[in-house]
């Protein structure tokens, strides 16, 4: 679970969404996790999901990808979904970017949180001498002490000396080794956010950050009512995001802790559970009035 920070307006967001005045359409901010939510075992986004995201965006809803992935891993998914204008959250909330076709490189960094990498890597190595470490280079990949196997990280890698590895603050450090989960609490004592991302993997980001803290920044920027927020995810790093949203929805295959924390449960990734959620959003009809489409039972 990433950090402990959540939006201070959580209690308000838990209230039932107000009815749209005069039956008019109201915009929703929809935050979507990527791995295990949009992408299944084959690591691709199905056409049906692309279509559902497109319909939601054409109806005026703000679809925001919110991922533990680095930015270089989020951007291709945004392109696949046709998100040519909007916002993305990467690195478990450490990076917020504006995406747009007219922007250099297709994006502009809105907010980046960084921290001192050296104490984290030194502590990890003292406890587990063989730990593998990498520091994120936003929009490119990672500086690493040893190359990670193909497919384990997004973007490129370059092997560097320790001096270069921790020479500048980074948005995220990745640590990989058997037994690395034993380092969660010692690392948190350094004042950083630590997120387990598998039995041998930790993501380390700055203090008191999560997808929720970044999404609240986006929500304020785009002017969506906090009671008109939806979030869908399947991992423990989504817990704060689900609590932040007025409507927090767990994927059907999520672990028990995530299922128990959600307001609703949709289908699994193989059942295209996120599509059911997207189809449940109001769509603009003639004159801007709201139309609610039929919702599959798994998303109710």
Domain containing residue 71: CATH number: 3.40.50.1000
Q: Does the pLDDT of residue 42 top 70, yes or no?
A: yes
Average pLDDT over residues 14-26: 45
Q: Are residues 67 and 213 in the same domain?
A: yes
In the chain, the number of structural domains is 2
**Is residue 1 in a domain?**
no
What pLDDT, in 10s, does the model give residues 229-245? 999 999 999 999 999 99
What pLDDT, in 10s, does the model give residues 252-266? 999 999 999 999 999
Task: Provide the CB-side half-sphere exposure for 137 (13 A, CA).
Answer: 15
Q: pTM here? A: 0.85
**Is residue 229 in a domain?**
yes
Q: Are residues 244 and 166 in the same domain?
A: no
Q: Are residues 60 and 104 in the same domain?
A: yes
Q: Which domain holds residue 123?
A: 118-205
| pLDDT score recorded for residue 262 | 97
Q: Are residues 63 and 106 in the same domain?
A: yes
Residue 282 — very low, low, confident or very high, per pLDDT cuts 50/70/90? Answer: confident
Q: Does the pLDDT of residue 11 top 60, yes or no?
A: no
| pLDDT score recorded for residue 25 | 59
Domain containing residue 158: CATH number: 3.30.1240.10
Q: Are residues 105 and 156 in the same domain?
A: no
Cα distance from N-terminal residue to C-terminal residue, the chain = 26
Whole-angstrom Cα distance, residue 89 to residue 110?
10
- Strand 229-233 and strand 29-32: pairing? parallel
Q: Are residues 214 and 295 in the same domain?
A: yes
Whole-angstrom Cα distance, residue 157 to residue 226?
39
Q: Does the pLDDT of residue 290 top 90, yes or no?
A: no
Beta strands in 85-171 (DSSP E): 85-90, 95-100, 107-112, 132-137, 141-144, 156-159
Q: Are residues 197 and 213 in the same domain?
A: no
């Amino acid at each position: 679970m990433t950090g402990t920070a959540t939006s201070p307006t959580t209690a308000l967001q838990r209230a039932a969404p107000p009815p749209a005045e005069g039956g008019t359409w109201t915009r929703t901010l929809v935050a979507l996790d990527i791995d295990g939510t949009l992408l299944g075992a084959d690591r691709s986004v199905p056409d049906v999901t692309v279509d559902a995201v497109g319909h939601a965006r054409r109806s005026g809803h703000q679809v925001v990808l919110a991922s533990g992935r680095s930015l270089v891993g989020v951007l291709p998914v945004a392109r696949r979904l046709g998100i040519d204008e909007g916002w993305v959250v990467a690195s478990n909330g450490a990076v917020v970017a504006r995406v747009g076709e007219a922007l250099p490189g297709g994006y502009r960094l809105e907010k980046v949180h960084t921290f001192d990498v050296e104490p984290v890597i030194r502590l990890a190595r003292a406890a587990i001498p063989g730990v593998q470490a990498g520091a994120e280079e936003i929009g490119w990949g990672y500086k690493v002490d040893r190359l990670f196997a193909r497919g384990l990280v997004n973007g490129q890698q370059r092997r560097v000396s320790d001096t270069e590895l921790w020479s500048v603050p980074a948005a995220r450090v990745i640590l990989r080794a058997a037994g690395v989960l034993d380092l969660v609490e010692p690392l948190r004592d350094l004042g950083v956010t630590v997120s387990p991302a598998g039995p041998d993997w930790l993501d380390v980001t700055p203090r008191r950050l999560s997808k929720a803290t970044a999404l609240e920044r986006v929500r304020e920027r785009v002017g969506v009512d906090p009671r008109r927020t939806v979030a869908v995810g399947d991992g423990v790093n989504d817990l704060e995001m689900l609590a932040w949203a007025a409507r927090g929805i767990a994927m059907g295959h999520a672990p028990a802790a995530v299922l128990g924390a959600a307001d609703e449960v949709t289908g699994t990734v193989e059942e295209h559970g996120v599509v059911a959620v997207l189809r449940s959003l109001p769509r603009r009809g003639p004159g801007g009035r709201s139309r609610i489409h039929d919702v599959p039972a798994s998303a109710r």
